[in-house]
Amino acid sequence: MDQATINPEEIKASVREHYGKAIQGSSCCGLSNSSSCCSDTASTELRLYGDATLAALPSDVITTSFGCGNPIAIAGLQAGEVVLDLGSGGGLDVLLAAQRVGPGGYVYGLDMTDEMLAVARRNAERAGASNVAFIKGEIENIPLPDATVDTIISNCVINLSPDKGAVLHEAFRVLKPGGRLAVSDIVVDGDLSGLPVSEAQIRAALGWAGCIAGALTMDQYRALLAAAGFERVSIEVKQRYTAEDLLSEAPEALAALPAEAIANLVGRFTSSSITAYRP
């Protein structure tokens, strides 16, 4: 990824605007089996989480997730734990985590978008969740003290950050010794070489707020986790992007690329589960 072409504040502003509008309308970030990943968010969530997991939540909470996976399924949350959700959006994963940690635990949801925070707080009130708090801030500068969190979860958000190294260093800082990172994210399996267009052209066509333009490769993810101090890193592919999924992200821009380029991108972008531990 060419860091010289990245303007962090422009990217953050784009992401903030995109998701501020998304929470008030119909938009999403993730894999889908339809021609548009935004056409049926509820069905996507049922596929990712399952009926039994979602049944205990109000129906309007179910329609406010913009994720690509199910970090709750890999987090192994225990009663009494303190959890932090990076980029908590409408609060779905926070509320599910709150059920698992119980009244003796606590879950923080961190988001930089006012519209998301307003919806999340409303959802928490409607769900009767008293062991949660939604706080405003950026995931590159987490507004929590050192070593205060048992588990960090996130659902297709770290890929949106222009400085993923800072995010992972901050995650390491706020985790307690022995704490764990358990996130779903968009990751490139392999790299973006050997294509008829450059990596820069591909990422520019995808657009940052569309979720996959900023995705790290698996090797890059492992290197940044190690640099932050994490150990026992695992990255597991859960689903791969199809040509249909890619075109739904940025139909006009991608359609302008050679058909061979799109065909060669199929399967390289993935929804993956990432786990890592602070020693």
What tokens were used for 57?
Answer: 């939540």
Alpha-carbon distance of 231 to 236, in angstroms, equals 16
Q: Residue 231, CB half-sphere, CA atoms under 13 Å: how many?
A: 5
Alpha-carbon distance of 102 to 154, in angstroms, equals 19
DSSP-derived pairing of the beta strands 106-111 and 149-155: unpaired
Give the per-residue pLDDT at 213.
74
CB-based contacts of 252, cutoff 8 Å, min separation 6 = none
Tell me: the pLDDT tens digits for 121-174? 999 999 999 999 999 999 999 999 999 999 999 999 999 898 999 999 999 999
- CA distances 121 to 68, 82, 118, 201, Å, are 22, 18, 5, 39
What amino acid occupies position 78?
Q
Give the per-residue pLDDT at 38.
37
Most distant CA atoms of the chain, gap in Å: 55
- Residue 161: burial class (beta carbons within 10 Å; 0-12, 13-18, 19+): buried
CA torsion sign for 170, 219, 87, 3 is: positive
Task: Return the closest-CA partner of residue 81 out of 183, 157, 152, 174.
Answer: 152
Tell me: the pLDDT tens digits for 98-123? 999 999 999 999 999 998 999 999 99
pTM, to two decimals: 0.86
Better pLDDT: 253 or 24: 253
What amino acid occupies position 75?
A
Say which residue the tokens 């509820």 belong to: 42
Residue 19 confidence class, pLDDT cut points 50, 70, 90: low
DSSP helix/strand/coil, 63: coil
Alpha helices (H) along 102-242 = 114-127, 164-174, 199-206, 218-228
Among 5-19, 164-178, 184-198, the range of highest mean pLDDT = 164-178
Tell me: the pLDDT tens digits for 45-83? 888 888 888 888 877 776 666 788 999 999 999 999 999
CATH superfamily of 3-277: Vaccinia Virus protein VP39 (3.40.50.150)
CA angle 139, 230, 88 (to 5 degrees): 25
Give the per-residue pLDDT at 153.
98
DSSP helix/strand/coil, 242: coil
What tokens were used for 54?
Answer: 């979602």
Tell me: the pLDDT tens digits for 36-55? 333 345 667 888 888 888 88
Lowest mean pLDDT among 147-151, 208-212, 241-245: 208-212
Instruction: Give me the chain's average pLDDT, please.
Output: 84
Percent of residues, the chain, with pLDDT higher than 70: 80
